[in-house]
Structure 1
Amino acid sequence: MTARRIERPAADIAQDKANAKSGGATINDIARLAGVSKKTVSRVINRSPLVQVQTRERVEALIREVGYVPDPMARGLAFRKSFLIGMVYDNPNAQYIVNMQGGALESLRGSGFELVVHPCDSKSDDYIAGVRHFVVQQRLHGVILVPRVSEDSALVDMLNEVGVRYARIAAVSLDQPRRMIATNDRLGAIEAANYLESLGHRRIGLITGPQRYLSARERGGGFIAALAKRGIELAPEYVIEGGYTFESGVAGAERLLALPERPTAIFALNDEMAAGVYKAAHRLGLSLPEQLSIVGFDDSPLATRLWPSLTSVRLPIWDMGLHAAAMLLSPEESPREGPLIAPHLVVRESCSSPGRV
């Protein structure tokens, strides 16, 4: 005998829908309203071909009507996999991380996956153990590794050991193309060096990031090499190691501007430190850019909020997050070569020829 669905009074159904909307609908609510099993609702959510078209349409319409949102963790438990993508980072620049998250979230939109973040201190002895706990506890589908943790081979070895897919973002290629987004930071720094030299600057200061960061070595090394190629040698006292923070930019600029022959231009390896240079210059009463030209790196929103607006190397951080998340959603479809990331200099008002009045 064929089973048939028992029709419920319309008033009862309307009341149940109202209750579900006001109280936060659950999968049980959807099953009851649709007159199907909880397993059938789960199959609809996960696009199983085992559901009849009419049933699928009825369940999907109810999901939209009552605003039901599947819980990622519950889906992971039910189907023995997670619908969570992790982002692991050790980066003092909040805007960088916000931009990266924005790109990743855009890539995940509509996929059923959610983003969870794990800040860490890569200088800590137990940070890899902490990341391992995060990955295993959350049962992550995959992990986006942001510089500088992306540069750590021991961390990557751990992820391979526990069987978690990953996407690495770093200044140069460190892995297989399907797992790697290389940002080519050196090229942007070379463009900055050539630009400052073309304006006539010969006495140039450099505020680097921490030397344990590959990005700092690539940006600083590219800048110094490009100047040397143009006949300009940076004396050691004109190179200051910063921490990729506003405060370290202030401190670095104060040291450079206290030199007997102060630089006519300063290149800071991120925009946060460049903003710190602005503050140090204003404390000394220097006019920008007439008495000091400044170049940053990343071209964050901060660059256009400073005055004069900051000339900066644009690194497409949002796109980097977008591509990294996409790699994890469809690893079997990842290209044999990673996306082309090409930093370039965005010229604004913070630079001029030295000594201009």
Structure 2
Amino acid sequence: MENTKPARASGFPYFSALGAPSGVEEIARRTDVSVKTVMRVMQRSPLVSVDTRNRVLASMRELGWSFPSARAVQRPALVGLVYDNPSAQYVVDVQRSVLAALNETGVGLVVHPCDSGRSDYVEGVRRFALRHGLSGLLLIPRVSEDELLATALREAGCCYVRVASIPLDDPARTVLTRDRKAGAEAARHLLTLGHRHFGVIAGPRRYRSSIERVEGFVQVLFEAGLGPSALEVYQGSYTFESGIAGAEYLLAQRPRPTAIFACNDEMASGCYHVALRRGLAIPEDLSMVGYDDSPIAAQLSPGLTSVHLPVDEVGQLAVRSLLHGLGWRTGGVVAREAAVTPRLTVRDSTRSPAVAEATG
């Protein structure tokens, strides 16, 4: 008599004519997940959380399915860093801090630059994760601020951590950089020195971090009783060239600002270039404050007063939160809300204005 029992191959259950293994619906029902998620577990897709993967595998074992556990279930092998940021120094600093945090874990890092202005970039990030078999993703501004990408990753079951200036997600998936407080500290420093006319070179409008830095700065001026005439804002793009353009615009205003706050150090260095060309001395004629406290801040002459973003701490917190979300206990304490506090590093680029009102 012919044996009619469904055959199994390579430890995988018999596949029905519809393309789904027989019994997948039962696994999905038992584990309260979709059939699609069960299929992803069977295909060892990285876009499934560790908890969900383990529940599905446990249910398979209960039903007697032969399905070998993937090594990634026990310990992640690769994570990805996704970015779209014009500041090369910031990206390098973050990458270095993440690699340092991963150094003792045995986990590798794959970097993915992208253009978040493209209509297909979310799909590109998804393909990147699948192509490299990534266990999770680290997102930095501006992609970290994109809710469309975060939603797509959650729906795909992909573990991620967002570095962001404000709470945008579950605290377990966020590292806060508190950019508003940093902008406020820069303004208080300049007010204390006696400045009353200011220029600000902002970053791109679509960066929430830029908005927070400027709004923190403006809020302090408002609380000090200064009106709109005390401040002029130029829209930059976090590049050296936009720093030059911003400084040219601001220094042509009347009254001329006695202090400029640039929302990153690259734009601040562009201001140095324009000040030199115009015969203005820093800080005698113009005080300068930057942001990030990157290596260039100490290399400029005079040294640039800049908001120090503790990038090393950002990388450590992001990696720790991601590995914790993947179910890998690192031994460190994972705070409910991971956050860093930027601090102003005062150098020689700021001082009291030479005159009460600069006229140029």
CA distance in 1, matches of 2:230, 2:347: 28
Corresponding residue for residue 220 of structure 1: 214
Counterpart of 1:285 (choices 279, 282, 287) is: 279
Aligned mates of 2:72, 2:144 — CA distance in 1: 27
The reply on whether 1:108 has 2:107 as its aligned counterpart is no
**CA apart distance, 1:232:** 1.7
Identity, % of aligned pairs? Answer: 49
The Cα offsets for residues 32-57 of structure 1, whole Å up to 9 and x where unpaired, read as xxxxxxxxxxxxxxxxxxxxxxxxxx
Cα drift, residue 119 of structure 1: 0.6
Matched, 1:207 2:207: no
The change in CA–CA distance for 1:239 and 1:165 in structure 2 (over 3 A counts) is: same
TM superposition shift of 1:89 = 0.4
1:309 maps to amino acid: G
Give the match for residue 98 of structure 1: 92
Distance 2:341 2:271 in 1: 26
Q: Kindly tell me: are residues 157 and 355 of structure 1, through their superposed partners in 2, closer, same or farther at Cα, counting changes over 3 Å?
A: same
Instruction: After TM superposition, give the deviation of residue 305 of structure 1 in Å.
Output: 0.4
The residue that corresponds to 1:242 in the other structure is 236
2:336 partner amino acid: E
Aligned to 2:227, what secondary structure does the other structure show? coil
How far does the alpha carbon of each residue in 1:255-291 deviate from its partner, in whole angstroms, 9 at most, with x for none? 1111232111100011111111101111101111000
Helix, strand or coil for the counterpart of 2:109?
strand
Residue 119 of structure 2 corresponds to 125
Aligned twin of 2:149 = 155
What's the CA shift for 1:335? 3.1
Task: Answer yes or no: is the 8 Å Cα contact 2:176–2:340 preserved in 1.
Answer: yes
> 1:318 maps to what in 2?
312
User: Does the 8 A contact of 1:105 with 1:322 survive in 2?
Assistant: no
Partner of 1:338: 337
Contact 2:77–2:107 (8 Å) recurs in 1: yes
Is the 2:197–2:231 contact (alpha carbons within 8 Å) kept by the matching residues of 1? no
Give the drift of 1:236.
9.2
> In structure 1, what is the Cα distance between the partners aligned to 2:89 and 2:262?
16
- Structure 1 pair 305/144, CA: closer, same or farther in 2 (3 Å)? same
For 1:184 and 1:253, how far apart are their aligned partners in 2? 26
Counterpart code for 2:340:
I
1:270 and 2:264 aligned: yes
CA distance in 1, matches of 2:221, 2:132: 48
Q: In structure 1, give the amino acid aligned to 2:220.
A: A
Determine the structure 2 residue equivalent to 1:347.
Answer: 346
The one-letter code sitting in structure 1 at the alignment partner of 2:279 is G
The 1-side partners of 2:238 and 2:220 are apart by 22
Unaligned 5+ residue runs, structure 2?
1-68
Indicate the residue corresponding to 2:182 in structure 1: 188
CA distance in 1, matches of 2:322, 2:83: 17
1:141 pairs with 2:121 = no
Instruction: Return the letter of the residue paired with 1:341.
Output: V
Task: Give the whole-Å Cα distance in 2 for the aligned partners of 1:230 and 1:239.
Answer: 18
Cα distance in structure 1, aligned partners of 2:167 and 2:107: 27
Greater CA drift, 157-166 or 290-299: 157-166
Cα displacement (A) at 1:338: 2.4
In structure 1, C-alpha distance between the alignment counterparts of 2:72 and 2:174, rounded to whole Å: 27
Spell out the pairing of 1:289-300 with structure 2 (5 A cutoff): 289-300=283-294
Query: What residue identity is the alignment partner of 2:128?
Result: F
Secondary structure, counterpart of 1:196 in structure 2 = helix
Given the alignment, which residue of 84, 106, 115 partners 2:78?
84
| Residues 207-261 of structure 1 deviation map (CA, whole Å, 9 limit, x = unaligned) | 1011111001100001011111112224497110100111100100001111232
Q: Following TM superposition, by how much is the alpha carbon of 1:79 offset from its aligned partner in structure 2, in angstroms?
A: 3.0
**2: CA distance between counterparts of 1:211 and 1:307?**
30
C-alpha distance in 2, partners of 1:236/1:247?
Answer: 25
**Residues of 2 paired with 1:163 and 1:78: CA distance?**
17
TM-score normalised by L of structure 2: 0.75
Number of equivalenced pairs: 281
Task: Quote the Cα distance in structure 2 between the aligned partners of 1:85 and 1:233.
Answer: 48
Partners of 1:177 and 1:78 lie apart in 2 by 29
| Conserved? CA contact 2:72–2:135, under 8 Å | no
| 2:250 is equivalent to residue 251 of structure 1 | no
- The Cα of 1:351 is off from its aligned counterpart by 0.6
Summarize deviations over 1:178-226 as a string: whole Å, max 9, x none: 1111111111111110110111111100110111110011000010111
Task: Name the CA distance, whole Å, in 1 between partners of 2:334 and 2:72.
Answer: 27
SS in 1 for 2:340: coil
Equivalent in the alignment of 2:302: 308
The residue type paired with residue 153 of structure 2 is L
For 2:166, the equivalent position in structure 1 comes to 172
